[in-house]
Amino acid sequence: PARYFDTKTTEPISFFLSGLEELLAWQPDSNDEFNVSAVPLAQRQPPLHGRRPRTLVCHDMRGGYLEDRFIQGSATRNPYVFYHWRYIDIFVYFSHHTVTIPPVVWTNAAHRNSVPVLGTFITEWTDGEKLCEAFLAGGEEAFGAVAEQLARIAQHFRFDGWLVNIENKLSAAAVGNLPLFLRDLTARVHSAVPGGLVIWYDSVLKDGTLRWQNELNDQNSIFFDACDGLFTNYNWKEEQLERTQRLAGPRLNDVYVGVDVFGRGDVIGGGFDTDKSLRLIRQFGLSAAIFAPGWVYEHLGKENFLQNENRFWGSLAEYLPTHSICTLPLTTSFCLGMGTSTFLDGKDEESGPWYDLSAQDIQPLYPEQQGMLSASCCLQDAWSGGSSLQLQGTIPPGEERVAVRLFSLQMPAPPKLFLTLLYKLEGPQPDDFTVALEVTTWDSGMCFEGNPTSLPEPNGRYHPRFLPAPPPGLAKLLAACHRGSQGWTSRCYELELQDCSLRDLSLIVSLQQPSPQETSFTCLLGEVRVLDMASVAASPPQVYSVAASQLWWQ
């Protein structure tokens, strides 16, 4: 069927639903199993519902369902990717179809990086009015059926909820039932999807007129009170943020103030001035909804996209609270889910462009210290997948080392950690440098390395012990210790900690001899792994009753 498979290639594709009939008729179908997310939402610290402002990204690009609709990837040159997941809390996939089911590749990539994904339920223009009249004015049975279907769809495809956007005027009967519908939908989503969310877009008012308020006020608060949050329109001024802050009270973080990166209409700042909008929003302790950050790709072009993308998110970083990884194993090759080649063990196995966000790895922080250090993606060389992480920086005169924070962690340290690192130093004198991993812990008088007789490290910095060979029993699994090739260097480490809590994983680049001049370095990271020794030693679960269906040989 054309909904599930591309008519030209027969490949499985992601899809949307149009109109009320399609929504109400939807049933799970064996053809849509390709579109079910295979990656559970990774845990994070602090939890999403903690008391701090959040950041939502609303992805709206040329109507949606572009190359990202190909569930098993495509040979797309210079595709759009998003990878600053550590800096955002919620991802919304937006299109103008009635029911936007997020393409599964986005849900997989976001979940791997601890970010929940929402689809969009939208009605607009006169068709939208008719649609709303049909299900809202029809009373509890009619709107309950729509709420039930939306909750079932989120549960079936394993994404995390809905943005609800009613962009048309409503009759008195329809608007009277709207808060009841929102309450019903929110309750059903919460019960069907762990951690599920329903967010309302600032559009229609309690009297049924369509008038964007650009704030939370007594005209739209009835909808805010019925769900998990409000996403405001974009044309706000400072006094509206002030009024919103007062009215939201303890639910301050549930108001997502809209920022259109395209800067349409009368806005404080878009494009590379988006930071001006964010600075104001955060002054009032409110959450932010960044709309269409694909501006970087659409407006500035595909050519220097990765460079421009790092510049854009780097300019916002001080206003974006990050979240930490809180489970092991942590293993990543830094792949973006795209490439100009496919690498395996450092070798270019297959030249040619590819794009598959499901193959995107856990993404690090992208630290920028002006002039001193930058982290970027390198497509020209990788250990595995399509890209490696390129760290470029300078070690100041007389200094010995520089630390690059890769991941923030927040979890109790297991008694014994095993770490692996694959890297490549580039430049004229790679032998002048050494590269190692550093683990920091949260301050606690209880935390010790190794045996209790050793003293706590000052400021909780630990340098895992270099292992020339893997511990016996793990040699087969951790061939990593000897597998450097194609110019990549491989290192293994272990670290024994007692009563500690992990805080950061950093890369340390050191000079063999401090230099009176500033010294520049370029280091590619191909892979990093942090493993709990206890779980590595356990044998993996057996897989039973594998079945293959719908085979078609060409």
Residues 381 and 460 in one domain: yes
Residues 245 and 334 in one domain: no
Residues 400 and 301 in one domain: no
Q: Which domain holds residue 125?
A: 81-324
Of 324, 342, 373, which one is at a domain's C-terminal end?
A: 324
Residues 319 and 346 in one domain: no
Residues 319 and 192 in one domain: yes
**What is the reported pLDDT for 465?**
72
| Chain center to CA of 113 | 5
Lookup result for tokens 């760290």: 391
Residue 19 placed within a domain: no
Q: Is 153 exposed, middle or buried (0-12, 13-18, 19+ CB in 10 A)?
A: buried
Residues 285 and 154 in one domain: yes
SS3 call for 396: coil
Q: Give the residues across from 74 on adjacent strands.
A: 355
Residue 490 placed within a domain: yes
Its sign, for the CA torsion 275, 281, 287, 288, is: negative
User: Domain holding 530: CATH number?
Assistant: 2.60.120.260
Could you report the per-residue pLDDT of 12-39, keeping only the tens digit for each?
Answer: 999 999 999 999 999 999 888 999 999 9
Task: Please give the Cα distance from 141 to 237 (Å, whole number).
Answer: 41
Of 265, 292, 324, which one is at a domain's C-terminal end?
A: 324
**What is the reported pLDDT for 451?**
47
Residues 492 and 511 in one domain: yes
Of 270, 292, 324, which one is at a domain's C-terminal end?
A: 324
Residue 432 placed within a domain: yes
Angle CA 479–485–486, to nearest 5: 155
Residue 23 placed within a domain: no
Residue 46 placed within a domain: no
Residue 376 placed within a domain: yes
Residue 403 placed within a domain: yes
**What is the reported pLDDT for 452?**
41
Residues 418 and 503 in one domain: yes
CB neighbour list of residue 508: distance below 8 Å, 6 or more residues apart: 401, 402, 403, 404, 435, 436, 437, 438, 463
User: Domain holding 303: CATH number?
Assistant: 3.20.20.80
Residue 70 placed within a domain: no
**What is the reported pLDDT for 15?**
97
Could you report the per-residue pLDDT of 45-58, keeping only the tens digit for each?
Answer: 999 998 899 999 99
pTM, two decimals, is 0.95
Residues 125 and 211 in one domain: yes
**What is the reported pLDDT for 208?**
97
Nearest in space to 524 (alpha carbons), one of 406, 430, 388, 417:
388
Number of domains in the chain: 2
Residues 399 and 291 in one domain: no
**What is the reported pLDDT for 454?**
45
Residues 376 and 498 in one domain: yes
The ranges of the chain with pLDDT < 70 are 370-371, 443-460, 467-484, 554
Residues 109 and 224 in one domain: yes
